[in-house]
Amino acid sequence: MTRPLHRLRRWLAALALLAGVPASAADVALPPVDQVFVLSAQATAPDRIEVRWKIADGYYLYRHRTSVKADATFGEARLALPDGDKHRDEFFGDVETYRQALVGTVDGTPVAGATTTTLTVKYQGCADAGICYPPQTRTLKVALPQAAATGAFGLGGKRGGLFGGGDAVQSDAAPLPPEQAYASEVIALDGNTLLLRLTPAPGYYLYRDKLSVSLQAGKGLAAALPPKARMPAARAYRDEHFGDVAVYFDQVEIPLAVSRTTEAAATGTLALGLQGCQDGGICYPPMTRRLPVTLPAGRLAAAPAASTNDAPSPAPASEQTAVAAVDAAPADRAIARPDATSTADAPRQAPPVQGHAGLLGSVLLALLGGLILNLMPCVLPVLALKALSLAQSGESRQRARRHALAYTAGVLASFLALGALALALRKAGLALGWGFQLQQPLVVAGLGLVVFALGLSLSGLWHANVALGARTGALLQREGMAGDFFTGVLAVVLATPCTAPFMGAALAYAFTGPALGGLLVFLALGLGLALPFLLIGFVPALARLLPKPGAWMETFKQFLAFPLYTTAAWLLFVLAALRGADAVWWWSLAAIALALAAWAWTRARSGGSGGWRVVALLALLATAWPLASLHRLHKPAIANTNATPSGIAQVAFSEQALADLRAQGRVVFVNMTADWCVSCKANEKAVFARDGFRAAMDAANAVYMVGDYTDVDPAITAYLQRHQAVGVPLYVVYPRNGGEGRILPVIVTPGLVADALAQAAGG
């Protein structure tokens, strides 16, 4: 196993230990837990019981996760465990673990006449591969010596049911595979009615409120569970953790009404979502079964009304692979209960996507968005210097136009290349929309170094001119068509981290409409970015409105360095979120080497010896070492730090968790954000960090679910694509009644968010 994969699995194992759930990376074929940790118990004296674990090779138990409690017949039991293997765990500090075998003793005072006692044993263990089982709970019934000859049967010994009989020390029955625990079939009674038959094995039950159906049988057909009032009667069951629930212990038959917009016969699949538990034992994860069905011709019928408390529909066909993986998970690794925030439920079908503005409207919005990009702190210094240099150059109107056209050509060419790359990557499924490049650490580091170097230039440490002939060629100077062109390229590079108002709707068309229309939108963005400089070059009256040249221009130029330094600091913050504190160290070394190269270059240009050129070249080459080290870093297990007021708990986004919360009738506010997203951070500070947002969430009894898109996340990518979002932020408010989610604008206000939450709670 490679070191990065091992570290990733170790982090996931750490999360499993802390949260008591299986790590997502653990969805690989592990042996059943009862085969890895074979548990048994035996009373060696009237007041002493030995509890034994036989541990398979390559696995271990944690001492601090092991406990044994006895019922009242054994008095106040005390568990004694031997010393384990002590070591310093990189995640959990000082721990003790056991391998091969563990024998603990339970001392107590049995009540007079007691013949048996029941032990509740809790333990948790992991594999050396870095994958942990969830915490386990087993119930052992132990025969005390004075009642009968003591037996010692573990999970593989004599069986007599959960509470056993005879002299056996009985554990929970080993769980059945899901297919044996819950048989399911569907029968077409006629063209408009299906009969769903579910048969739990003895000692197993299904949760009524976790049942869901979705008919995938071509267009024009749909099936739904009846409302709860017309569901078959379920048994009231008191769950020890989650209170009163309704379950099916016996076979149940549920008629499903089929709505049709076509009378023709059809074949397809009924996607069935279900979840159940072993009585007194484990709970299985939410499962999805796909049952073939053949429907005869039927009559046209309206869609059946769904109950407001119905469980969410199973995953659409595009998500069958992920759902099947959950369905096939070993039973002994499941501990989720339906009333908890499960992360394995079948995701809800995405709501229909809102329409876009059309090509003409998108082009106009892109033009406005590109114009506003000029006000961003990373672009404004470059534009201001170019505009002032052009206005005060004293050149002819014809040459001023050439400068403006060269700059515009650089901007348009860069936006065209960026648009073609983004559309190609999106089509290949490798990226999503605007800002995707900021998920790449080397891109962020490179942008930060470019901005930092430009800031040093404006501060006077070096001069950013590269000779292209006598008095020609400059990135930030006024001479040269090539200099103007590359200044346009530089402006686009500096603009890519930013998102301006109006860009969201325009880019929605670019990424979902025809490719040619998408490229036109990117060109419109470029035209908007170049428009101020273009107008100054072609309209002399505008140029005359600019301040007259003077000594103040040098001071102004030096002042403009500070927005660039601020941008570099922000990019460094994004880099830290992507790759942790080590990335800050390596980037700082690269920045120091770059500053040395710039300083030595200026010394060489100002008449210094040729040795300064060598120093500049060596220092520039030296930046490759820290950047290569940065590239080898791996994503830290650090959650997104969004600005929220105290009292609002964040739930990490997952499709399954969202579906489970909606099945519970909760209002859910989904916030898709990223540390590199300026609009996201502005909204979080202005809206989500305010007490008014907390009050609105409390009033709606809503859950705040946050998806961190700072780094690449396929699950969030899929969610954004289903909503045709071009990137983050994306805000979706899901109502209590199970209806479609409401997509909020990219820029939100406290009143808008409060109204959306109120409507979701009331709807």
Q: Provide the CATH number for the domain formed by 650-762 in this structure.
A: 3.40.30.10
Query: Lowest mean pLDDT: which of 26-35, 200-209, 657-666, 699-708?
Result: 26-35
Average pLDDT on 647-673 reads 86
Average pLDDT on 16-25 reads 42
The residue ranking higher by pLDDT, 506 or 399, is: 399
What is the pLDDT, as a whole number, of residue 693?
92
> What is the C-alpha separation between 574 and 708, in angstroms, rounded?
12
Long-range contacts (CB closer than 8 Å, 24 or more residues apart) made by 154-161: 154/38, 154/39, 154/40, 154/41, 154/52, 154/54, 155/34, 155/38, 155/39, 155/40, 156/38, 157/40
> What is the C-alpha separation between 592 and 77, in angstroms, rounded?
64
> What is the C-alpha separation between 109 and 77, in angstroms, rounded?
7
What is the pLDDT, as a whole number, of residue 445?
85
- Kindly report, residue by residue over 36-77, the tens digit of the pLDDT: 888 888 888 888 888 999 898 888 898 888 999 888 888 778
Residues 6+ apart with CB under 8 A from 447: 493, 494, 496, 497, 571
Average pLDDT on 125-149 reads 75
Burial 576-608 (b: 16+ CB within 10 A, else e): bbbbbeebeebbebbbebbbbbbbbbbbbeeee
Percent of the chain topping pLDDT 90: 9
Q: Which two tokens stand for residue 588?
A: 């700082």
Instruction: Name the H helices within 109-211.
Output: 178-181
> What is the C-alpha separation between 591 and 450, in angstroms, rounded?
9
What is the pLDDT, as a whole number, of residue 435?
60
Average pLDDT on 630-656 reads 69
**Cβ distance 214 to 347 under 8 Å?**
no
The CATH homologous superfamily for domain 3-143 is Thiol:disulfide interchange protein DsbD, N-terminal domain (2.60.40.1250)
Name the DSSP class of 132.
B
What is the pLDDT, as a whole number, of residue 587?
92
The residue ranking higher by pLDDT, 453 or 437, is: 453
- Tokens 């008014």 locate to 692
- Model confidence at 509, pLDDT cuts 50, 70, 90, reads low
Q: What angle do CA 249, 245, 235 make, to 5 degrees?
A: 35
Query: Lowest mean pLDDT: which of 3-17, 79-93, 619-633?
Result: 3-17
pTM for this predicted structure: 0.42
Summary mean pLDDT of the chain: 74
- Closest of 414, 428, 442 to residue 519, by C-alpha: 414
Q: Which two tokens stand for residue 125?
A: 């263990």
At residue 657, the 3 state secondary structure works out as: helix
Q: Which two tokens stand for residue 282?
A: 């484990």
At residue 574, the 3 state secondary structure works out as: helix
What is the pLDDT, as a whole number, of residue 504?
59
- Model confidence at 437, pLDDT cuts 50, 70, 90, reads low
Q: Which of these CATH numbers, 2.30.30.830, 2.60.40.1250, 1.10.10.10, 3.30.420.40, describes 178-333?
A: 2.60.40.1250
Average pLDDT on 525-529 reads 89
**Cβ distance 677 to 435 under 8 Å?**
yes
Q: Which two tokens stand for residue 598?
A: 């710039």
Q: Which two tokens stand for residue 709?
A: 């898109």
Tell the burial category of 279 from Cβ atoms under 10 Å away from its Cβ (0-12, 13-18, 19+): middle
Name the DSSP class of 162.
T
Q: Which helix (H) or strand (E) holds 533?
A: helix 515-538
Other beta carbons less than 10 A from residue 106's beta carbon: 23
What is the pLDDT, as a whole number, of residue 705?
93
What is the pLDDT, as a whole number, of residue 510?
65
The residue ranking higher by pLDDT, 241 or 248, is: 248
> What is the C-alpha separation between 380 and 557, in angstroms, rounded?
11
Does residue 477 surpass a pLDDT of 50?
Answer: no
What is the pLDDT, as a whole number, of residue 677?
76
What are the φ/ψ torsions at residue 669 (nearest 5 degrees)?
Answer: -105, 110
**Cβ distance 15 to 95 under 8 Å?**
no
- Model confidence at 486, pLDDT cuts 50, 70, 90, reads confident
- Model confidence at 28, pLDDT cuts 50, 70, 90, reads very low
The residue ranking higher by pLDDT, 296 or 507, is: 296
- Model confidence at 219, pLDDT cuts 50, 70, 90, reads low
Q: Which two tokens stand for residue 726?
A: 């071009």
- Model confidence at 506, pLDDT cuts 50, 70, 90, reads low
Q: Which helix (H) or strand (E) holds 503?
A: helix 503-512
- Kindly report, residue by residue over 721-762, the tens digit of the pLDDT: 788 776 788 999 999 877 788 999 887 899 999 999 999 988
**Cβ distance 124 to 135 under 8 Å?**
yes
Other beta carbons less than 10 A from residue 93's beta carbon: 7
Q: Do you find a cis peptide bond into 729, omega within 30 degrees of 0?
A: yes
What is the pLDDT, as a whole number, of residue 712?
72
Q: Name the percent of the chain in helix, strand, coil, to the closest 5.
A: 40, 20, 35
> What is the C-alpha separation between 595 and 7, in angstroms, rounded?
35
**Cβ distance 558 to 461 under 8 Å?**
no
Does residue 327 surpass a pLDDT of 70?
Answer: no
Average pLDDT on 567-592 reads 86
What is the pLDDT, as a whole number, of residue 198?
92
> What is the C-alpha separation between 725 and 511, in angstroms, rounded?
9
Does residue 115 surpass a pLDDT of 70?
Answer: yes
> What is the C-alpha separation between 262 and 300, in angstroms, rounded?
6
- Listed ranges 127-131, 281-285, 446-450; the one with the highest mean pLDDT: 446-450
Does residue 303 surpass a pLDDT of 60?
Answer: no
Q: Which two tokens stand for residue 449?
A: 């170094």
What is the pLDDT, as a whole number, of residue 243?
64
- Model confidence at 338, pLDDT cuts 50, 70, 90, reads very low
Query: Lowest mean pLDDT: which of 165-179, 365-379, 697-711?
Result: 165-179
What is the pLDDT, as a whole number, of residue 288?
84
- Listed ranges 372-376, 453-457, 669-673; the one with the highest mean pLDDT: 669-673
What is the pLDDT, as a whole number, of residue 378?
65
Strand partners, 666: none
Percent of the chain topping pLDDT 70: 71
Edge to edge, what strands does the sheet with 101-107 contain? 37-45, 48-55, 101-107, 78-80
Does residue 342 surpass a pLDDT of 70?
Answer: no
**Cβ distance 38 to 153 under 8 Å?**
no
What is the pLDDT, as a whole number, of residue 680?
81
> What is the C-alpha separation between 343 and 354, in angstroms, rounded?
27
- Model confidence at 589, pLDDT cuts 50, 70, 90, reads very high
